[in-house]
Structure 1
Amino acid sequence: MNTLEKKDNPKQESPMNPSEKRSNRKLLISGLLVILISINGILLYMNYQKKEKTEEQAEVIRVKDKELENQIKVYEALKADFERQSQELQAMGLENDSMEAQIASITSDLNELRGFRKSSYSLADQRRFRDRAAAFEQQLKQKDEQIATLKQDNEVLFTENTTLKTTQNRLSDSLTTMKSTNVDLTEKVKVASRLEAQRLDINVVNKRGKELDDKKNEFRAKNAEKIRVTFNLGKNDVAPKEPKTIYMRLIEPDGAALYNLSTGSGSFQIDGEDMYYTAKRDIVFDNTQQQVSLMYAKNAEYKKGQHTIELYADGFMIGSTTFVLK
């Protein structure tokens, strides 16, 4: 009977022993570690990609910033060169409105460049400003060639005038030897050759560069950034055609002449005494009733009241006028 029961009952499974349980736990922990390591690896890779993209963006902004800075420097140099040319032409007694327009155009471009944000300075902007700068540089080169030619012509004219003046001096010496009265004659010639400033006109230039004109010569002090004096030199057949220096004194309401070395002021002599001038202009007198202008910027607020303009040349006052700042 016992034997039959043993044959009919199936074989029962033995319970899991402790060593097998430990083995399964190790496998489970190992699997979890593999999963965690994989997740960390993915996160690290994603962070690396993000960092690489951020660095690329930073490099693009840095390059744009550098290009923008370089372009600003190019335009600042162009502006300085055009202003130098304008001063050279003014020193020769020449006016050039087209150059003033070019300086204004460069200033406008420079302000636009300075207004760019680093990220908004596109490749199209870079090409546009490079092309404009190249055109300005070509104009600058052509104008330098013209100025060089004008300087050569002026040197020839100066030499001719110097030769003429030397001849006149020799003649004067001869006449002095022959006649003791020549001193009086020379003085009379000097007085007769005195230049005369005619049709004096005062304009006030405001901070926007606009010139304000008033027939009564009355302006608002707050609008006065610069003072421009314009006049014509009257005909004088006695005066030699030669280089002249015109001195301007701008006298404030308290009687003191404006004087600032940094803006070109200095001193000259009248009747053997030093006198301060506000601004000066070198010209070549050609007896054609040529127009001359002088510009002065105080770089500070002007005083209110009546101002006086005095003009001198060759030791004489050649003209004066007044204007009022209210």
Structure 2
Amino acid sequence: MAGTLPDGNNPNNNRKLLVVGLIIVLLTINGILFYMQHQKTQQVEEKEEIIRVKNSELENQIKVYEALKADFERQSQELQALGLANDSLESRIASINADLTKLQSFRNSSFSLQDQRLFKARAANLENQLRQKNAEIAKLKEDNQVLYGENTQLKTTSTQLSDTLKTLKSTNTTLTEKVALASRLEAENIQVNIINKRGKEKEDNDAEYRAKRVDKIKVSFKLAKNDVAPKEGKEILMRLIEPDGAAVYNLATGSGTFMLDGQETFFTAKRDIVYDNTQQAVSFIYSKGAAYKRGAHTIELYADGVLIGKSSFTLK
């Protein structure tokens, strides 16, 4: 048939082949692009995973060091409570603080594998030191508890001894007081005589005797037997108390003061004797050097600050 081209030169077939070829090329390019994109995505994910792992490791290390710091601070407080020095622990705590500062700085920079190994090794060493110190503190607490128990026992014993000593002191004081009471001297047969200006003695009950005629007062008595009282020197004091209640007092005639019931008290005259437990006689002859008052007079006798006898007489 005139005008028909051979099959090999058919334009439709050529176009079909061209289209198929283009499709194959496009599919190949898409495949290559897909593969490259997948590889890139995988690399990004791997990098992100590496970063995530490093960040996680960094945060874990920070937590480890924070825990170590807290434990060493606890140990420091426990040692302080035991009254012990803790300079080495303070040094370790300062070192941990420096490590924490360095670790926290890695949040803004690379935390390399070398850094990880370094800080892990240092943390392991610190944990070992922590365990050793915990064992030491536990032993110290145990020893301290034993010492506390022994100290408590010693305090109990000391308190018991103190109570015993107090009881003994109280008993001794009581015995001393009893001995002192038993050893007190006692004036017996106290007699008061009046001596006039001519040297004649009269008893105070002489109704005709008057105050204006009195020159001297004579007080005589005996010291009662007392087997408890020591044989030693004694000072006997006499107080002549006038009707107005005041004691006659004159330094020129030997008067003075002594302590009576915690108060300074005047005495009129004194005698120094050696007590010998023989019912020895003692006497005072006192000259006032001035006119005597009318009325009731009192004589008080003292030895060792204690009243040993008392009498009275009246002048008209």
Q: TM-score, normalised by structure 1?
A: 0.48
